[in-house]
Amino acid sequence: MSAEAGSRIAPADEAGVAAAVAAAHAEGVPLALEGRGTKAAMLRPVQAGRTLSLRNLTGITFYKPEEMVISARAGTPLAEIEAALAERNQQIGAEPPDLRALLGSGEATTGSLGGTVACNLSGPRRVVGFALRDLVLGVRFVNGEGEVLRSGGRVHKNVTGLDLCKLLSGSHGTLGVLTEVTLKVGPAGERTATLVLPVADEAAGVAALSSGLTSPYGVTGAAMLPEGASAAGVAGPVALLRLEDVEASVTYRMARLGAALPGGRVVEGEESRALWRAIRDAAPLAAAAGEAVWRVSVRPSMAPGVVVALRARIGARVMLDWGGGLVWVAAAATAEAHSAVMAAAAGARGTFTLFRAPDPMRVSVPVIPEEVPALAALSARVKAALDPGGRLNPGRMRAGL
Amino acid sequence: MIALPPPKADVMARRDEILAGLCALIPGDGVITEALRLRPYETDGLSAYRQPPLAVALPTSTEQVAAVLRFCHENGVRVVPRGAGTSLSGGALPLADAVVIGLMRMNRILDVSFPDRLAVVEAGVTNLGITKAVEGEGFFYAPDPSSQLACMIGGNVMMNSGGAHCLKYGVTANNLLGVKFVTIEGEVIEIGGGHLDAAGYDWLGLITGSEGQIGIVTEVTVRILRAAEGQRAMLAAFRSTEIAGAAVDAIMGSGVIPVALEFMDKPCIHACEAFAHAGYPLDAEALLIIEVEGSGEEQDVLLGRLRAICERFDPISMRVAASAEESMAIWKGRKGAFGAVGRISPDYLCMDGTIPTSELPHVLRRIGEMSEACGLKVANVFHAGDGNLHPLIMFDANDPASFAKAETFGADILKLCVEVGGCLTGEHGVGVEKRDLMPVQFTRPELAQQRRVKEAFDPEWLLNPAKVFPLEGKLAPAPH
Ligand SMILES: Cc1cc2nc3c(=O)[nH]c(=O)nc-3n(C[C@H](O)[C@H](O)[C@H](O)COP(=O)(O)OP(=O)(O)OC[C@H]3O[C@@H](n4cnc5c(N)ncnc54)[C@H](O)[C@@H]3O)c2cc1C
C-alpha cells in the first residue's frame, strides 16, 4: 500500500500488533495494513502516516490432516502453507491465486495468508466448491481499538454467535487486523485431467461450460480462453472443463464428459495443473503494463453479452472463469473504460472490482460498486462498530470509509 | 429455566392501538390476536419453553414485511421472526410484548435457472420444497436438515443449518448467492444475486446464522446442484466408541471424503432398531453409516476403499448396500433416530455441540459418565465427519426437577465441547437455550464486539431480543 513516506512498524507478535493499533487509535494516526505487500496495487491506495506490516507474524501453528484443519499466523506466505499441505496430499479448496505477476509485485514469495483472506480471493474451484471465506473456520484479530479477539474456532461446524470470520474476510483490512487464521482444508484430487474443447465464441463457450457444470460428473473447473489468449500451450478459443478426483472416477467421468461434449482433447497431469495455475492467476489475460484490470462477476448466462459490449465499447480483452460468471477484463486505464465496465456489470446485475490501475485512476473512481444509501449507512455503522476511530486502511475500499 | 426480559410496559399499555395499527398494514386475516389462535405460535422445537406473543403477523410480500417492521420500529415494539418454528434452541420463542412475524405465507418459487444453477425463492418455501421444484431436471438443493420437510429456507439462512450431506456439500452459508433483506427501519436491501462473491463487506456471510438478530430475510437465491449419478451407503459396527472414532479419523485422513459419515452409539442403535427394524447389530457399541456418490462402478471403488479402512479396525460387522433399496434400509434407522428416541422417552433435549473429531472417544466417555452421575439416559447420534454431536438427553417434562437436571447436563456437555476445542453449537443456533453459555466460549470483549455489530443494525434491541446474547444493557432484568 502506498503509505506516504511515514513510519513502518513490523511487530514480532500479536501483542505487538495490538500495541501498535492501540497506539494508532490513541494518537489518531491512520494505519495502512500490509501482509507481504503483494496486493498493494489492488483497490484504492491507502493514505496513512504509518504502515503496519504483518510480515514477521509467520509460521504454521496447528495442522491436523485427519481433521482437515490448519492454522497459521497471518504473515505466513501462502506457498509455505500449500507446501505443508502438499506433503499430506491436501490443499486449500478455494485455490487462492498468486497475483504477484498481475499486480506487479516484486516479492520473492507469494502473498500472505492474512492478506489473501482479507481480500477473499478464490480461484477456479470457486465455481463448484467454496470461496476462501467459506473455508475460514476461525480467526484471531485485532480490532481498531487494539483489542485481541477471536471469532469461529477450529471445528468444521460452528454457528455460535455472529460470524465475524466472514465479515472480516473480504473486508480488506478495514475492520480488523487478522493475526492468525484457521482454514478448513481438503484432499487434493489423486488425478486431474482437463477437457479442451474448441468453441466458436463466448456464447458457445459459456454454453459448453454450463453443460459441463450441469452434468453429474463433478467438474471442478470451467474456464474459457477467448481467441488470441493462450495458457500452458493451449490456445483459444477453447472451453476448459476440469476433473479432479480418485483415479477411477476421473477415467470414467472424462469418458462420459467427452462423449457429451465431443470434438475436444484431454490434457492430463502436470500439463493440466499448469493450465489451471495460469487461469487462476489470470495470466492468459496478458495485461500490458499501464493497462487496467477488472474482475466482473455476473450470472454465467450474462457473460457473453458483457464480453460483446466491452469489446465493442472499449476494445477490452477478456478471459472467463467460474463457468463464465467471472469475467477478467483488461483495457486502457481510462475513466471511460471504467464507466463501461461499471455499466456492463450493473446491466448484468452483477458486481465488479477494479483490480489494478495507476494510482490517479484508483483514487478517482469507485473501485467496487457503490452501495444503496441504506446499505452504505450500514457499512459505516459496522465499520464504526469495529474500528470506531476509522484508523484501519482508511479509503482502501471506498473514499471516506 | 432461562430468564426472559420483562415486557415493555409502554407497549403492553398500548396493546389495542398497536394491534389496530398492525391490522391496517396487512389486510384480511394476516394478523392474529385471539389467545386461542396464538397458541400454535407460543413455542418452537424447544417445546419446554412457551410464551404467547402480543400478536402474529403473516405478511405475504416483502413490502408488507417492511411496513410491519417500520411500524414496530416507530412504536418501539419487539419482533420475533419465524419460519416453520422448528428451531431446537428456542430461536423463534415469542416474548409477551413481541409481534411474531411469520414468513410462511411467502412461499413462492420465483425463478429457477438450470444453466446458471440457481433458484430464487421466498423465505417461507420449505427446504425440501426447493429440491422438489428442481429434482425433475436432476437437480437438488444440498443442505438437508432432518427437518427439511417442514423447516423453511429463511429459517435455514438464519440458523445456517446443516444436514447429513454437508460433509461434502457444505452448510447453508456455502450454498447461498443472495438474499432480500429488510432492516428494522423497514429498508429493503438486495444482497448479492445471481453472481458469486459480491464486492464490499460480506453481508451475506454476516446475515447467515445471525438468528434473526439483524434483520428479516424475505427472499433467498440459492445454488442448486446437479445430483450425482447415484449414491450408496455402507454400515460398519465396532466394539467400542474409541475404535469407531479412530476409524472416523482414518477415513477423513484417507483422501476419500464420503458424502455422509454418521455415527450412532449403543443406546441410539437400540432405540432405532426397535423403531425401524433396520437390521442394526445390537451387540455393537458404535455404528457408522457411510455414503458415497457416483456411478455404480465409482461407488464400488469408493466403498471398496472405505471397507478396507474399516477392516483395519476389527469391525463386528459390515454391510455394504448392493442397491438403492439396501441403502435406504441402512438409512432408515438413522433418519428415524429422533422419533425412535422419542418413543423411549417422550421428552428429550437435543444438544448440538461440535468437537474436534480426535476428541470423540474422550467426549463420549465423559458424556457417559455424566449420564450415570445425573441419572438421565442419553443417546448419541451425530455427523461424525465434522464432529457435530447430537446427544439426546431423555427426561420427564412432568417433573420440573428432571427438566432442570436435563438442562444442567446439557450445559455440562456443551462446556465440555468448548473445553476440548469445540463450540456450543454446530447447527441449531444459540437461541435462548445456549444464550447464557456464551461467556463459556467468548471473552467479554469478544461478546461486546459482537453486540456492537448487532447494534449497528438494531440499536434498540428490537430484533429477536433475549436470544443469542446474555441479557445486558437494554434487555437487563429490572433491578430488584
Ligand atoms: C426433528 C428436527 C430435526 C432437525 N434437524 C436439523 C438438522 O439436521 N440440521 C440443522 O441444522 N437443524 C436441524 N433442526 C433445527 C431446525 O429445523 C433448523 O434450525 C431450521 O433451519 C429452522 O427453520 P425454521 O423455518 O423452522 O425456522 P424457525 O425455527 O421458525 O426460526 C429459526 C430462527 O430464525 C429466525 N428466522 C426464521 N425465519 C426468518 C427470516 N425469514 N428472517 C429472519 N429471521 C428468521 C427465527 O427468529 C429464529 O431465531 C431440526 C429440528 C427438528 C425439530
Q: What is the ipTM of this complex?
A: 0.97
Q: Do domains A191-283 and A287-362 have the same CATH topology?
A: yes
Closest-CA residue of A relative to B227 is A216
Residue B381 scores a pLDDT above 50: yes
Domain A1-188 has CATH 3.30.465.10: yes
DSSP E strand stretches across A57-147: 60-64, 69-73, 90-91, 136-142
Beta bridge partners of A140: A150, A180
DSSP tag of B354? B
pLDDT tens digits along A216-249: 999 999 999 999 999 999 999 999 999 999 999 9
Domain with CATH 3.30.70.2740 in chain B: 345-437
pTM exceeds 0.80: yes
Closest CB to B255: pick one of A190, A302, A326.
Answer: A190
Domain ranges (residues) in chain A: 1-188, 191-283, 287-362
For the cut 90, the answer to whether the pLDDT of residue B380 exceeds it is yes
| CB neighbour class for A157 (10 Å; exposed up to 12, middle 13-18, buried from 19) | buried
CA B18, CA B76: separation in Å to the nearest integer?
Answer: 10
Domain with CATH 3.30.43.10 in chain B: 9-105
Backbone phi and psi for residue A72, each to the nearest 5 degrees, phi listed first? -150, 155
Detail the DSSP E strand segments found in A136-288. Answer: 136-142, 148-152, 177-184, 186-187, 191-198, 221-225, 230-231, 234-235, 238-245, 265-268
Is A375 close to B249, i.e. CB distance below 8 A? no
- Check residue B106 and give its pLDDT: 98
pLDDT at B209 over 80: yes
Distance A149 CA to ligand 1 centre (A): 29
CATH topology of domain B109-226: 3.30.465
Cα A281 to ligand 1 centroid, rounded to whole Å:
40
The SS3 of residue B272 is helix
Q: Per the structure block, which three cell numbers stand in for A129? A: 466448491
| CB of B53 shorter than 6 A to ligand 1 | no
With a 6 A CB cut-off, is B262 part of the ligand 1 pocket? Answer: no
Nearest chain A alpha carbon to B299: A249
Q: What is the pLDDT of residues B257-308, one digit of tens each?
A: 899 999 999 999 999 999 889 899 999 999 999 999 999 999 999 999 999 9
A28: cell is 489518531
Query: CA A239 to CA A321: how far, in whole Å?
Result: 10
How is A106-123 classified by DSSP, letter by letter? --SSPPBHHHHHHTT---
B 134-173 residues with CB below 8 A of A? 138-139, 159-160, 162, 166, 170-171, 173
Q: Which residue of B357, B422, B456 is in closest CB contact with A385?
A: B456
Q: Which CATH class is domain A191-283?
A: alpha beta
Q: How confident is the model at residue A112 (pLDDT cuts 50, 70, 90)?
A: very high
Query: B87, B180, B183: which to mutate for ligand 1, most atoms within 8 A of CB?
Result: B87
Is 80 exceeded by the pLDDT of residue A5? no
Tell whether the model's pLDDT for residue B443 goes beyond 50.
yes
What is the chain B residue with the closest CA to A173? B201
User: Given an 8 Å threshold on Cβ–Cβ distance, is B297 in contact with A122?
Assistant: no
Tell me if B139 sits within 8 A of B68, measured CB to CB: no
What pLDDT score was predicted for residue B478?
67
Q: What average pLDDT does chain B have?
A: 95
Taking the centre of ligand 1 as the mean of its atom positions, its distance from the CA of residue B157, in whole angstroms, is 8
pLDDT digits over A114-128, tens only?
999 999 999 999 999
Q: How far is the CA of B148 from the centre of ligand 1 (A)?
A: 10
The count of CB pairs under 8 A between chains A and B is 253
- Residues of chain A in contact with residue B304, where contact means CB-CB under 8 angstroms, are none
Q: Tell me what pLDDT residue A4 has.
A: 44
Task: Check pocket membership of B338 for ligand 1, CB cut-off 6 A.
Answer: yes
Q: How far apart are CA B320 and CA B305, in angstroms?
A: 12
Rounded Cα–Cα distance for residues B355 and A211 (Å): 40
Distance CA A234, CA A198 (A): 10
Strand, coil or helix: B353: coil
pLDDT for residue B462 is more than 50: yes
Calpha distance A110→A277 (Å, rounded): 13
Report chain B residues whose CB lies below 8 A from the CB of A147.
445, 449
Query: Quick one: average pLDDT of B200-208?
Result: 98
Shortest Cα distance, chain A CAs vs residue B244, angstroms = 14
- The predicted pLDDT at position B479 comes to 61
CB-based contact A120 B197, cutoff 8 Å:
yes
Cell of B121: 425463492
Which site among B175, B181, B182, B202 would you substitute to test the A interface, given the most A Cβ atoms closer than 10 Å to its Cβ? B202
What's the CATH code, domain B231-337? 3.30.70.3450
Write the single-letter amino acid at B133.
A
Task: Give the single-character DSSP code of B79.
Answer: E
Is residue B430 lining ligand 1, measured as CB closer than 6 Å? no
Q: Is the pLDDT of residue A147 over 50?
A: yes
B205 vs A147, A163, A384: nearest CB: A163
Q: Which CATH entry fits the domain spanning B9-105: 1.25.40.10, 3.40.30.10, 1.20.58.100, 3.30.43.10?
A: 3.30.43.10
**Residue B120: its pLDDT value, please?**
98
Question: Within 10 A of B459 (CB to CB), how many other CB atoms are there?
Answer: 11
Instruction: Say yes or no for a CB contact (<8 Å) between A210 and B443.
Output: no
pLDDT of residue B480: 55
User: Which atom of ligand 1 approaches the CA of B88 most closely?
Assistant: 15
Mean pLDDT of A104-112: 90
**Cα Rg, chain B, nearest whole Å:** 23
Backbone angles phi, psi at A365, to 5 degrees: -125, 160
Please list the residue range(s) of chain B that carry CATH number 3.30.70.3450. Answer: 231-337
Query: Model confidence over B144-178: pLDDT tens digits?
Result: 999 999 999 999 999 999 998 898 999 999 999 99
Q: Which of A134, A160, A186 lies at the smallest CB-CB distance from B424?
A: A160
Q: Which of A283, A294, A298 is nearest to A316 (CA)?
A: A294
Pick the atom of ligand 1 nearest to B154's CA. Answer: 41
Q: How far is the CA of B142 from the centre of ligand 1 (A)?
A: 16
Question: What is the rounded CA–CA span in Å between residue A361 and residue A344?
Answer: 19
Specify the amino acid at residue B204: L
**Chosen CATH of A287-362 out of 3.40.50.300, 3.30.70.3270, 3.30.70.100, 3.30.230.10:** 3.30.70.100
Q: Is the pLDDT of residue A1 over 60?
A: no
Instruction: Answer whether A299 sits within 8 Å of B113, measured CB to CB.
Output: yes
B201, B357, B423 ranked by CB distance to A171: nearest: B201
Region class of A34: left (phi > 0), else alpha (psi between -120 and 50), else beta:
beta
Report chain A residues whose CB lies below 8 A from the CB of B253. 65-66
The CATH topology of domain B345-437 is: Alpha-Beta Plaits (3.30.70)
Residue B307's contacts (CB-CB under 8 Å, 6 or more residues apart) are: B234, B236, B318, B320
Tell whether ligand 1 has an atom less than 6 A from the beta carbon of residue B62.
Answer: no
Place of cell 457416483: B294
Distance CA A101, CA A104 (A): 5
Q: With an 8 Å Cβ cutoff, is B296 touching chain A?
A: no
* Ligand 1 in reach of B162 Cβ (< 6 A): yes
Closest CA–CA distance from residue B286 to any residue of chain A (Å): 20
Of B158, B221, B222, B343, best ligand 1 pocket probe by most atoms within 8 Å of the beta carbon: B158
